[in-house]
Amino acid sequence: MTIIDGKQTAEEYKAALKQEVKEFVAKGKRPPCLAILLIGNNGASETYVANKLKTCHDVGFSASLYRFENTVSENEVLTCINELNFNSNVDGIIVQSPFPNHISPQKINEAIHPAKDVDGFHPMNAGRLQQNKPCYISATPKGIMQLIEKYKIETQGKHCVVVGRSNIVGMPMSILLSRNSKPGNCTVTICHSKTVDLASFTKRADILIAAIGSPELITADMIKEGAVVFDVGITRVADKTAKSGYRLKGDINCDEAAPKSSYITPVPGGVGPMTIIGLLQNTLLAAKNAIYN
Ligand code: GUN
């Protein structure tokens, strides 16, 4: 059994990105620039955004943060996005989710110009992914694909079960693994909150990807012997013994599931660290006009 080290893999990709940025800037280009919009003061979002900003600076990007109160109007956010769409010094734009209820994720995602949509959430990028055209692939599925490549995990002909059907993870993941490429060529089953007898599906998975955000929903008895297991869940669960007052839990009980798995990602330190890398790789692609040109 191998514990997949997302932290170490992310460090390697980060070093490669830093080198690419250095070469890009040496050609006389300005550093890639990511604009991050943050609405309200969700604790987890604050942490994610701080990490994104730090990693941008570490690899030589410029990054700017646009903060909004929880009460900001949808129009005000859309206006900011529109200005950034036209700002030729900005390559990528993301709005950190979740948003307050009065702000429509769909409107926000569609307001960002597809060429600057480095989260890959715009329907144009989602559609281009489905049609196997150049596009921005959202960071979490992209990170998982890179872990599959790094660990030389065979996917062809395997049965992959994706638990979760979100636009951010489950859907793009199922497309990436089923398409005719390497890695790819899996037979994919998508499970979700209305699936009856989830265990009957997960037990048949050669590759199991859990992205439901339900702490330790998947127990060892639901996993096939020798399966490859990716845990995307990262939920803060209250824990008085932890300094922060919470502990991060995945969708899978890793301690129990690890002995049955051939490869497994821990939480934290598995899929999570790779997601920032995917975002920054997309921003560099945007700076190079590599997707839409
Ligand atoms: N919130 C949690 N994950 C993400 C992500 O990948 N992008 C954005 N914009 N918000 C998130």
Global pTM reads 0.96
Say what the pLDDT of residue 125 is. Answer: 98
- Say if ligand 1 is within 6 A of residue 112 CB: no
Say what the pLDDT of residue 172 is. Answer: 98
Cα 38 to averaged position of ligand 1 atoms, centre (Å):
11
| pLDDT band (50, 70, 90) for residue 113 | very high
Task: Summarize pLDDT for 28-56 with one digit per residue, the tens.
Answer: 999 999 999 999 999 999 999 999 999 99
Task: Summarize pLDDT for 214-232 with one digit per residue, the tens.
Answer: 999 999 999 999 999 999 9
pLDDT at 26 over 90: yes
Say what the pLDDT of residue 230 is. Answer: 98
Does the annotation mark 116 as catalytic? no
> In the chain, what percentage of residues exceed pLDDT 70?
100
Does the annotation mark 52 as catalytic? yes
Nearest CA to ligand 1 atom 9: 96
Mean pLDDT of 162-187: 97
Say what the pLDDT of residue 293 is. Answer: 86
Say what the pLDDT of residue 108 is. Answer: 98
Task: Summarize pLDDT for 228-273 with one digit per residue, the tens.
Answer: 999 999 999 999 999 999 999 999 999 999 999 999 999 999 999 9
Question: How high is the mean pLDDT of the chain?
Answer: 97
Mean pLDDT of 79-108: 98
Atom of ligand 1 nearest to the CA of 138: 6
pLDDT at 99 over 90: yes
- Set 5, 96, 249, 281: catalytic member: 96
Which residue among 34, 48, 68 is best mutated to probe the pocket of ligand 1, counting the most ligand atoms within 8 A of its Cβ? 48
Measured distance CA(200)–CA(149) in Å, rounded: 28
Does the annotation mark 119 as catalytic? yes
Cα 26 to averaged position of ligand 1 atoms, centre (Å):
31
Mean pLDDT of 172-201: 98
- Say if ligand 1 is within 6 A of residue 94 CB: yes
